[in-house]
Structure 1
Amino acid sequence: MMSDSIWDPLVEELASRQRADRKVELWLRDDDAVDPTPALDRLLDLTGEFAVPVTLAVIPALTDGKLVGRLDKTPHATVAIHGWAHRNHAPENQKKQELGPHRPRGVVLDDLARGLSRVTGLHGARAVPMLVPPWNRIDAGLISDLGSIGFAALSVYGPPKPASLAVVNSNVDIMDWHGTRGCRDHGLLVQAIVAQLQHAFDGGEPVGLLTHHLAHDESAWLFLERLFAVTAQAEACAWLPISTLIGRGPGKGK
């Protein structure tokens, strides 16, 4: 097992679950995929090595067949719909949003329908009808219409709110967006994962790890490699494909 002491809390948590015959569930979402890049190769190679299914949130307006060709060689990757163009429509004094109340509702829904159609048309069975809003923000009033344009699931960040479709949220972001813009402190990330595992044990959601391959520094890659290695050695641990979580239906993906 990993000797680095900051990983001990996770190792111990996984061991205690195994003794209790309780399964630990994690899933991985990576945002902003567009084209094949060295960073995407690194992510796909690393997840492939440890048999970790990865859901890539793909920006429909910016992607094309080049990504299709790369993913055809990567059976453990699925793709979700990352808005339309990842373009901010909020005024400067507000948080960035593509899917906010700043444009007519019909225009936003048309963008999303086009995004779903484009990604599904490109990727076929590899595409899952899940919306991942850019910046993890969406006008609450739009959510009830997502099913009518073909979406089966929504994934943002944080605790899920009840909805008419499956909600499968990420809840541990490895990036320090408001500080270094690199990887967060590994010890703090381990603590966050353990806390989320304990929340899941009490009936909450699985650990939803959020990554952004294009923004990773070496620390982020090292963290992922160590996390995958630790979890791979735990019999009680499973990295789930997104289809399994969506299949659990509306609410919180549990």
Structure 2
Amino acid sequence: MTSDQIWQPLVEELARWQRADRKAEFWLRDDDAVDPTPALDRLLDLTREFAVAPTLAVIPALTDEKLVVRLDEAPHVTVAIHGWAHRNHAPEGQKKQELGAHRPREAVLDDLARGLSRVSGLHGARAVPMLVPPWNRIDPGLVAELGSIGFAAMSVFGPPKPASVAVVNSNVDIMDWHGTRGCRDHGLLVQAIVAQLQHAFDGGEPVGLLTHHLVHDESAWLFLERLFTVAAQSEACAWLPIRALIGRSAGTANPGKM
């Protein structure tokens, strides 16, 4: 199958949105940013070229002013809070979690408050008070407390559930974590994006693309470049900044529920 054939389903789906005079909405979350790296440079350059506004989930305990200086040159970027240290506290044999029920709730909340303070202090207006739990996992009992320590939003992976803060989830992960640990098959990714767009057409959530710049192989970079290119060629496609999505989702937040 040629590259054009792989991408044709997305071209056709975007054409459907254009015929309906509607905008197919996308956003991009990239996890695990800490320091300036060649991979980060590549992500920032690529997203700037195509006017995509990525949200970097930054690990507070591991980052410092070096990232601030680099992002000062990338005004199209926002940063969110990726837990505290991205450290697993789950026992061996259980799924990895930093924000699980394996420690006292007060200790976890203290870490999160410290993380929000650190990232906000470093990045100022570039920071959004959104929690991105490491490994996309968080104890449901903690979610109701997030607003009390300053968070306005949360982002994990999968369909959103009602919560006391705005929920803006990613729903298409480009990495094959359980197989090659490189980029997923491009055809399967296109199918996943088209399925999410079809869901969005009927009132579902925008396409939330999840990337991890530090572990991208060449196939991942190629996929992103081609996706951005196809999207740019359609008048029906819009890449949204995270603040717009948080503002929209805040109206549906449900205090006390997860």
TM above 0.5: yes
Per the TM alignment, residue 93 of structure 1 is displaced from its structure 2 partner at its CA by: 1.1
Counterpart AA for 2:177: W
Residue 4 of structure 1 aligns to a residue whose secondary structure is helix
Q: Partner residue of 1:27?
A: 27
Corresponding residue for residue 163 of structure 2:
163
Distance in 1 (alpha carbons) for counterparts of 2:230 and 2:93: 42
Sequence identity of aligned pairs in percent? 85
For structure 1, the 5+ residue unaligned runs are none
Alpha-carbon distance between aligned partners in 2 of 1:160 and 1:16, rounded to the nearest angstrom: 25
Alignment of 1:69-88 (within 5 A): 69-88=69-88
Partners of 2:112 and 2:219 lie apart in 1 by 34
- Give the TM-score of the pair, scaled to structure 1: 0.97
Structure 2 residue 243 is matched with structure 1 residue 239 = no
* Structure 1 segments of 4+ aligned residues over 3 angstroms from their partners: none
The aligned residue for residue 143 of structure 2 is 143
Q: Secondary structure at the match of 1:188?
A: helix
Deviation of 1:22 after TM superposition, in Å, equals: 1.1
In 2, Cα distance between the equivalents of 1:231 and 1:58? 27
1:175 aligns with 2:164: no
Q: Give 1:119 deviation, angstroms.
A: 0.1
* Cα deviations by residue, 1:179-226 (Å, 9 ceiling, x for unpaired): 000000000000000000001111110000000000100000000000
Q: Which residue of 2 aligns with 1:227?
A: 227
Aligned length: 251
2:56 matches 1:59: no
Q: 1:68: which partner in 2?
A: 68
Letter in structure 2 aligned against 1:58: V
TM-aligned CA distance change 1:87 to 1:3, over 3 Å: closer
| Corresponding position of 2:91 | 91
Q: Which amino acid aligns with 1:148?
A: S
Query: CA offsets per residue over residues 22-63 of structure 1, 9 Å max, x none?
Result: 110000000000000000000000000000000000000000
Equivalent in the alignment of 1:211:
211
Instruction: Tell me the residue number matched to 2:10.
Output: 10
How well do the aligned residues superpose, as a CA RMSD in angstroms?
Answer: 1.0
Separation in structure 2 between the aligned mates of residue 68 and residue 5 of structure 1, nearest angstrom: 41
Amino acid paired to 1:15: A
The Cα shift of 1:4 comes to 1.5
1:190 — aligned with what?
A: 190
